[in-house]
Amino acid sequence: MSSNAARVAGRHFLQIPGPTPVPDRILRAMDMPTIDHRGPEFQKLGKRVLEGMKSVFKTANPVIIYPASGTGAWEAALANVLSPGDKVLMFETGHFATLWKNMAIKLGLHPEFIASDWRIGADADAIEARLREDKNHEFKAVCVVHNETSTGCISRIAEVRKAIDNAGHPALLLVDTISSLASIDYRHDEWGVDVTVSGSQKGLMLPPGLSFNALSPKALAAAKKSTMPKLFWSWEEMIPHNEKGYFPYTPGTNLLYGLAEAIDMLHEEGLDNVFARHDRHAEATRRAVRAWGLEVLCRDPKYYSSSLTAVLMPEGHDADAFREKTLDHFDMSLGTGLTKLSGRVFRIGHLGDTNDLTILGALSGVEMGLALAGVPHKKGGAQAAMDYLAECASNPLRAAA
């Protein structure tokens, strides 16, 4: 298909916090003839990915794979363990926590939202205090976003689990890891999570189209009592087929080929090394932001994300105008501000199959874009990031600190 637009040389810098660039190796793995999803060849693939995803979630329990976006996995988590009219406790970490809350309302649940200014992760102390007030244990679940993609703030899930336990509350713990799985350390079993939600298009380095529920025995027991209508999302439908390597309906076969390759790539690098790489790139990005004289949206280092950094624009300057200028001149996409952050922030994604030079290229593009858009800033942000990454390369212990 011809176009009158001039060709742009080089790779597009996709620096949004997902979908992330898909490595060639995964694209080649997906470039396979579609096979019989009831045959023995598919059975081997099904068992491979269903077992392999347990290692990524760090669980010994079942992981469900849906041909859906992360929104589908949200709905599956709620629909399988809850019943219409149930109360759930949620924390307002940002845009995506708000969307999950709105979904709960549409499903006939009664969410209570602990408010915040979108500049921190979930406050475990606030969750514990509210659960202590719930003497009749009306809350059936606590829902938390591990990494809030709209703000660049993480929630400390081990602390949330401890808060629930300290309150002596039986509520299930449901966690969204859509923009943190395979990017930030996550431990489904060790942290006592009952349902973990995730998607394929971020740390797993795949195109959009797969989503996940990692389960606990407590969640499986709750599912037997759930009266929420469901069929496509039903674990009860899925698990007997999954045990044999199959699915109750047509799966995303070629995406599963890519998933098998992604799991191999993560283990070849080593999950701890993957997390350290993301930590390093996040710190390099924050150093660049500080050197520019700009402000990171996340106001408490305790909640810094290693998947993305949201940057506040100076008063009177539009983040979207800056993003447009950067795209036009440097062929780089940056994340937009969502809902009440619209025009106020831009987001730099540093997750997925990313290396030091990619991050430095992205930060150089941001610095040049700031200058072209007339955004007040100091020069030297990209250099500050370069100095940090060079120091990490020469002193691995420094990088791990």
Whether residue 34 lies inside any domain: the answer is: yes
Segment holding 271, helix H or strand E: helix 271-292
Which amino acid would we find at residue 97? A
Same domain, 247 and 299: no
Structural tokens at position 24:
């060639």
Whether residue 230 is contained in a domain is answered as yes
Q: E strands of 63-115, at which residues?
A: 63-66, 87-91, 110-114
Domain boundary among 211, 232, 267: 267
CA distances from residue 251 to 32, 78, 201, 245, 256 in whole angstroms, order as listed: 15, 21, 17, 11, 8
Query: 355 lies in which domain range?
Result: 271-400
Cα–Cα distance for residue pair 222/226, rounded to 1 Å: 6
Euclidean distance between CA atoms 399 and 393, whole angstroms: 8
Q: Are residues 300 and 248 in the same domain?
A: no
pLDDT in tens, the chain (401 residues): 556 778 889 999 999 999 999 999 999 999 999 999 999 999 999 999 999 999 999 999 999 999 999 999 999 999 999 999 999 999 999 999 999 999 999 999 999 999 999 999 999 999 999 999 999 999 999 999 999 999 999 999 999 999 999 999 999 999 999 999 999 999 999 999 999 999 999 999 999 999 999 999 999 999 999 999 999 999 999 999 999 999 999 999 999 999 999 999 999 999 999 999 999 999 999 999 999 999 999 999 999 999 999 999 999 999 999 999 999 999 999 999 999 999 999 999 999 999 999 999 999 999 999 999 999 999 999 999 999 999 999 886 655 55
Specify if 6 maps to a domain: no
Report the DSSP pairing between strands 345-349 and 308-312: antiparallel
Q: Say which residue the tokens 């290693």 belong to.
A: 306
Q: Are 329 and 368 in contact (CB under 8 A)?
A: yes
Same domain? 192 vs 217:
yes
Give the chain's count of helices (H) and strands (E).
Answer: 14, 14
Residue of 339, 283, 299, 353 whose CA lies nearest to 150: 339
Q: How far is the C-alpha of 155 from the C-alpha of 144, rounded, in Å?
A: 8
Q: β-strand 308-312 against 295-296: which pairing, if any? A: antiparallel
Mark whether 331 and 351 lie in a shared domain.
yes
| Domain co-membership, 279 together with 259 | no
What is the pLDDT, as a whole number, of residue 397?
Answer: 64
Residues 82 and 216 in one domain: yes
Q: Give just the sign of the alpha carbon dihedral 268, 273, 278, 280.
A: negative
* Residue 217 sits in the same domain as residue 307: no
Measured distance CA(107)–CA(216) in Å, rounded: 22
CB-based contacts of 143, cutoff 8 Å, min separation 6: 78, 88, 89, 90, 91, 97, 100, 101, 104, 111, 174, 175, 176
CATH code at position 355: 3.90.1150.10
Angle at 222 between CA 221 and CA 225, to 5 degrees: 105
- 279 shares a domain with 226: no
Whether 81 is in a domain gets the answer: yes
Structure tokens at 242: 């999954």
pLDDT score at 4: 74
Determine contact, residues 375/382, Cβ cutoff 8 Å: no
Tokens at 265, concatenated: 């790539």
Establish if 258 belongs to a structural domain.
yes
280 marked ligand binding residue: no
Structural element, H or E, at residue 91: strand 87-91
Are the beta carbons of 61 and 214 closer than 8 angstroms? yes
Last residue of a domain, one of 242, 267, 292: 267
- What percent helix, strand, coil does the chain show, rounded to 5? 45, 15, 40
Position 184 scores a pLDDT of: 98
3-state secondary structure at position 174: strand
* Assigned domain for 351 exists: yes
Residue 13 is assigned to a structural domain of this protein: no
Query: What type of residue is 160?
Result: V
Length of the chain: 401
Residues 156 and 49 in one domain: yes
- Per-residue pLDDT tens digits for 207-223: 999 999 999 999 999 99
Question: Does residue 279 sit in the same domain as residue 390?
Answer: yes
Tokens of 397: 């212990």
Residue 211: give its domain's CATH number.
3.40.640.10
DSSP helix/strand/coil, 246: coil
SS3 302: helix
Six-digit token string for 284: 């390099």
Tell me what pLDDT residue 1 has: 52
Does 393 lie in the same domain as 251? no
